[in-house]
Structure 1
């Protein structure tokens, strides 16, 4: 069987060294759409090294290609990459991410869930520097055709949006070349750059990285609800619910409630098709 859940969970943890500095942070922020109003004080906290803070979603690219923790190259897992979709992403912050850092990432398969027609592989990464833990990340990979092995389906994290009107709705335009800029932070999948590859995969043109949408949405929450202070974010979870095309406008609805905000992100240009769902940010 392509997936042996017991072997995957029992496999030794993988360790990688992550290093980054202000140039990596600046590039990431530009890749998720910061700096559109280039001289705005609110944007300079993302684009000018003398005022720089780190948006917590940077954790998904810290160290470039090393941030993926080796992907699914794990004993007990042998699957066709074409059947794999990034399903969910979660980050829990233990303290603010520094502008310059060197840390050790330890990644293991936390669980393999059985969703019937698919398996979901949950990769958990713990990241710490010499001063202690920095963040914990979980990435869930949905693998088509690999379910039905009798395992647990795991918790149901689906969240209906509140029945009331959102407390805030903001639109964020993206650039036609947004994916080309974002990919410089380490994800060079041709699906996001090569039109022929995208068409072969069933898309009319290259699509935006899901993790680019993930960062864009968190920035909108920080700017709208947290007065632009990224250090107040404590955790961020989202499910990738649909594609987004570079050049489209992201519509971000927010329902705030006592230190947490539920978010729904949609493609405003395509009848509000869902992009990120079951999305929650917690904050101080």
Structure 2
């Protein structure tokens, strides 16, 4: 993809709406060809209404999976995702839930199982961020919301899904480049992403003997609704990467397809870094 012009000025309230973004993110490449890598699989995707989550849902559908997506309040975006999944010939269950609440996490798993009977792939992806230049400006309300959204549900849903996952199934967690290099204006957010990284590696070791894989993707700057909903100026978003631009959800989702498929059958406890060229250590 060629380097784009600066993003136009825009602003949204969290959690952000994809249908109000300018330009609209690319969800899947027109020339992406599915090859039944996930045929017959059932995937549960949090934050699946927009951004990376929507892209993962559509890519999974093109690979033959039925999906259940969890969203907080963005009903219009969720319905659009459902339409895109059904256009691929697969079914899509919409589940509205506040994943900060354990009871909602339990309900999500129950609704997925009631509809599909089985679960093969859990994608933990939902997240929030509240940029602040100083830790002194981070309110405890925002700190709590960040942790209860970004890491608590990953733990709860992984724990609850284990009763339904079978040999060869997997969990995929979304971390961030900020977990590896830090972020001066996202101290609390980056620390939750670090927690996700350690959680992924530890759970992978714990359940490897069941032939269940746990991996993750650590995106860099990707053009999603979270960006205009949390940053005042998006004009140069992503231009400090080696590739000189922000990434699109369509460039991240194939990493999830790989990790969910048999192609990654000997991979667990690992992260794929889709970040525009930033070199990341272990």
| Both proteins in one fold, TM over 0.5 | no
Q: Which has the larger radius of gyration?
A: 1
Instruction: Give 1 or 2: higher strand fraction.
Output: 1
What TM-score does the superposition give when structure 2 sets the normalisation length? 0.32
What TM-score does the superposition give when structure 1 sets the normalisation length? 0.32
Higher relative CO (Cα under 8 Å, sequence separation at least 6) belongs to 2
Instruction: Give 1 or 2: higher helix fraction.
Output: 2
